[in-house]
A and B are shown apart, each in its own frame.
Chain A
Amino acid sequence: MKDSVLTIRNLSVDYQIEAGRLQALRQVNIDVEKGAIVGVVGESGCGKSTLISSIIRLLPQNAIIRDGTVEFEGSNLLDLNDEEIRAMRGTKISVVFQDPMTSLNPVLSIQQQMMHIQYRDQNSRSEKLNKSLALLESVGIADPRTRISQFPHEYSGGMLQRISIAMALQAQPSLLIADEPTTALDATLEVQIIHLLKDIQSKVGCSVLFISHHLGVIAELCDSVVVMYAGEVVEHGTVRDVFHNPAHPYTRKLLECDPAGIQTKTRMLPVIPGEIPNLVNLSDGCIFRSRCQSALPICEMHVPRKHEITSTHSAKCHQLTA
């Protein structure tokens, strides 16, 4: 077992809303090893935003962390005070967000923004500028010296995402969280960004937590994958484990649904019928049972436990233990 950079144990987060308590995350366990790229597969409502916000401690006011720890380089992020967590953000942990058009400030030039984020360093202005130029160069922005003084609207979406990645890597963080960084981009640019992330990761040596609902991207980029459904980790394993031998019915369905995987023309594409259950006042039982085609009577009664299929592959489903 290699060193872990991020270890999430039994993380449970609720939101206090009018209707009651919305259990957004329940007993989530995730390990990110040093230098590894871990993918999180999840559709809307699976809790991935809550997960990211818990790690960088940007949860909204009505969130309650019910249980669990988020160990990062030896300290529990959930125990840190405001000042300590602020020192972590951007230096040790940084995030690349989904939409580069909205994550950059439209009224400041790229130069201003890239210099601002180096406010912790004691370097001179010219040193900071040189560092910014080198960063832009490293993510493949041609002619950075003239382009750095431009504003976000003068760049294309793919370029802006490259800049976001450059800015996230500015302080050489040990953990990079990428929140659907390619969803807003065209297919040909998506491929470029994935290769860029892979390149940079091998150069900088940081760990990456890569969140996406695009199965193909995860298969190509990641070492291991965590499948989340409605606030739970339902399956976990290496990409080969999960994509070749999916153990959880949800993972199997998801792989079937992907239009990229269907080679012959069909007028009826497979879907997962039903919707994500309401997470307020949850009853007992498996969270996926209402949409599962092979649900057993036991699925109504107990939440399935984690079942180890191999030393690297585990899933939460009663059928594996029955």
Chain B
Amino acid sequence: MTTTLRVENVRVQFRVKSGLRSWLDKSTAASIDAVRDASFSLQKGETLALVGESGAGKSTLALAITGLERIAEGSIQFEGREVATMQSRELRKYRRNIGYMWQNAIGSLSPRMNVRSLITEPVKIHNVPNIDQRRLSNELLNLVGLSEEFGNRYPHQLSGGQARRVGVARALALNPQLIVADEPTAGLDVSVQGEILNLLNQLQDELKISMLVITHNLNVVRHTSDKIAIMYLGRIVEQGDTAEIFSKPRHPYTLALLSASPSPDPDMQAERIELKGEIPSPLNRPQGCEFHTRCPFVKDICTNTPPPFKVLSNSQALSCHFPR
């Protein structure tokens, strides 16, 4: 199996104070780490899910992979080529390999363009020669399960699920090797969520593309992804095979996320691991294990010594002093 994407110890920083202010006021940090020491690899045709609450750094990591966000440390290799050192011309060429489905399906479509021009826009932007745009748009519409009549509609005439399908078609326009799907089911009705996930599954089986799915809802990725990486405060705290994570979650945060989803059965009051408070600010990272402020199983060592990232088996790895 070939590796499509290899991410190693990536750190993404955001500056929170301008140059002069950070020079004058040294009491607080001038920048925050949105992503810290993130490592994973993605094989061809595989799906990896990045899961975590808002502020965990999922989207930032995805933007860094597409080269839309500069990384401060580490390396991102796409089919063996280093992304971080690419210059703008090279980057533009590189981005053809990646289809991006944005989180806000309707908001990411220009309201003044019809669906046909929206889904062929990537081809125009990248000046792909010898393309019959009408044929391409019809092909793409068929691929995502919309009739050709949809080509003449405008974004406000689409339902949430249809807009999502247009987003998929746009992401596929340049025949990418990797699709990044940022919250593909956010804001969709339960009955439509399945449709979009089935579509992604089906396309992946047919086209053998790799996929990176970003979500805060573990239930969404249970049936779509091969591997899962759980992120907390910019770090990957646990990763492993989807089946393994669901059957044997080891990190307390994973446990909490899994039990956070209430079951549609009133008599099943699952023993829930409820987290106190909210995700801390990256400006003010907790000492020791960064999860200790919300961890229900916290012990003394957690408050002062950061846990190492331990590899448990050939697929599962996590950072916790006391894995379950």
CB distance from A227 to the nearest CB of B (A): 12
Interface presence of B223 (CB below 8 A): yes
B300 beta carbon closer than 8 Å to chain A: no
Chain B residues in 8 Å Cβ range of A192: 274-275
Bound Cα distance A266, B279 (Å):
32
B194 near A253 (CB under 8 angstroms)? no
Cα A197 to Cα B74 with chains together (Å): 44
Number of A-B contacts (CB under 8 A): 121
| Least CB separation from A185: chain B residue | B54
Beta-carbon contact of A272 and B264 below 8 Å: no
Least CB distance from B57 to A in Å reads 14
Q: Distance (Å) between the CB of B143 and the closest chain A CB?
A: 17
Contact B262 A191 (CB under 8 A): yes
Chain A residues, CB < 8 A from B192 = 271
Shortest distance in angstroms between B291's beta carbon and chain A's nearest beta carbon?
12
Contact, CB under 8 Å: A275 / B159 = yes
A295 located at the interface, meaning its Cβ lies under 8 Å from any Cβ of chain B in the complex: no
Q: Name A268's contact: one of B198, B217, B263 (CB within 8 Å).
A: B198
What is the 8 Å Cβ interface bit string for chain B, positions 188-208, against chain A (1 contact, 0 not)? 011111110110011001000
CA distance A268 to B201 in the complex (A): 8
SS class of chain A's interface: helix, strand, loop or mixed? helix
Count A interface residues, CB 8 Å: 46
| CB-based contact A260/B278 at 8 Å | no
Residues of A within 8 A of B198 (CB): 267-269, 271
- Interface window among B20-28, B90-98, B169-177, B253-261: B253-261
Q: Does A89 contact B (CB under 8 A)?
A: no
B278 touches A156 (CB 8 A): yes
Is A271 in contact with B223, judged by CB distance below 8 angstroms?
no
User: Are A186 and B223 touching (Cβ within 8 A)?
Assistant: no
How many Å lie between the Cα of A265 and that of B47 in the bound state? Answer: 14
- Partner of B223 from the list A191, A217, A253, A267 (CB cut-off 8 Å) is A267
Chain B proximity of A47: nearest CB distance (Å): 14
Q: Is B142 an interface residue (CB 8 A)?
A: no
CA distance A298 to B172 in the complex (A): 45
- 13 further A-B contacts with Cβ under 8 Å, apart from A159-B278, A216-B261, are A186-B54, A187-B218, A188-B256, A189-B53, A191-B260, A253-B191, A257-B191, A260-B261, A260-B262, A262-B222, A265-B222, A265-B242, A269-B197
Q: Which residues of A contact B (CB under 8 A)?
A: 43-44, 156-159, 183, 186-192, 194-195, 213-220, 239-240, 243-244, 253-255, 257-262, 265-272, 275
